[in-house]
Homo-oligomer: A and B are copies of this chain.
Amino acid sequence: MRYLYHLPLSPFSRKVRLLLAEKRLPFELRVEKVWERRSEYLDLNPAGTVPTLLEDGGLAIPDSSVIAEYLEEAYPDTPLLGRGHPERVEARRLAAWFDGKFHAEVTDRLLGEKYMKRLTGRGNPDAGALRAGYAALGPQLDYIGWLSETRTWLAGSAISLADFAAAAQLSALDYIGEIDWRTAPAAKEWYARVKSRPCFRGLLADRVPGITPPAHYADLDF
């Protein structure tokens, strides 16, 4: 069996769940409480982060961007990076944008301060970080809206790693009720299309102990 070590609200874990499901690769989820720094897990992934994919044959693949490249090479039937150099550069550029810039400026500040700090006993949310996160979210939603209106999907005419990287960040924030979709109609239209794909069902069925998502979280017609 293929296992994915994850945390339910980790956007990087969510990205890999979407990629696996879109490529129709069966897997089982295993929750990994990374703050416990379990030695068996550190053997699989010395960085101690989630996700880590463990293949049936024993190959352990840490880091969501490393997993994405591996899945593209090992299971090329449903290509998620495009074919030519310009398409692949653009899909990877945007995946790096959402994994890096969006996560640092928005997700880490909002989800990190409000949820992960409490979960790992690191104190109360920092008000300045929350303000900066909210200030960065608007322009990011505008950028997603602009890309999706210009190109159908974020990186071009086909759905790609870029869409899943962005949707993973947004879905984690949406679970804790941090996205006001009324302010971003173009991004909402794109997100509704991603959310309606079969690969998204697992994420929409998630329930995290102690946090009830808003009613629209799992609603395909939100």
Q: Does A205 contact B (CB under 8 A)?
A: no
Q: Does A1 contact B (CB under 8 A)?
A: no
Q: A59-B89, A63-B100 are in contact. List 18 more A-B contacts (CB 8 A).
A: A46-B97, A47-B101, A59-B86, A61-B89, A61-B93, A62-B93, A63-B92, A63-B93, A65-B65, A65-B96, A66-B93, A66-B96, A69-B88, A69-B92, A70-B88, A70-B89, A73-B88, A74-B85
Given the complex of chains A and B, what is the CA–CA distance between A73 and B86 in angstroms?
12
By secondary structure, the A interface counts as helix
Q: Tell whether, in the assembled complex, residue B70 and residue A85 are in contact, meaning their CB atoms are under 8 Å apart.
A: yes
Given the complex of chains A and B, what is the CA–CA distance between A89 and B47 in angstroms?
14
Given the complex of chains A and B, what is the CA–CA distance between A70 and B96 in angstroms?
14
Determine how many copies of this chain the complex contains.
2
A103 to B: closest C-beta gap in Å: 11
Given the complex of chains A and B, what is the CA–CA distance between A89 and B68 in angstroms?
10
In the complex, what residues of B have CB within 8 A of residue A59's CB? Answer: 85-86, 89
* Residues of A78-118 contacting chain B, CB below 8 A: 85-86, 88-89, 92-93, 96-97, 100-101
In the complex, what residues of B have CB within 8 A of residue A70's CB? Answer: 85, 88-89, 92
Given the complex of chains A and B, what is the CA–CA distance between A89 and B70 in angstroms?
7
A155 to B: closest C-beta gap in Å: 12
* Residues of A27-66 contacting chain B, CB below 8 A: 46-47, 59, 61-63, 65-66
Given the complex of chains A and B, what is the CA–CA distance between A66 and B98 in angstroms?
13
Given the complex of chains A and B, what is the CA–CA distance between A49 and B211 in angstroms?
37
Given the complex of chains A and B, what is the CA–CA distance between A89 and B73 in angstroms?
11
Given contacts A47-B97, A85-B59, A86-B59, is CB(A92)–CB(B73) below 8 Å? no
In the complex, what residues of B have CB within 8 A of residue A96's CB? Answer: 63, 65-66
In the complex, what residues of B have CB within 8 A of residue A47's CB? Answer: 97, 100-101
By beta carbon, the residue of chain B nearest A53 is B89
In the complex, what residues of B have CB within 8 A of residue A97's CB? Answer: 46-47
By beta carbon, the residue of chain B nearest A86 is B59
A80 to B: closest C-beta gap in Å: 14
In the complex, what residues of B have CB within 8 A of residue A65's CB? Answer: 65, 92, 96
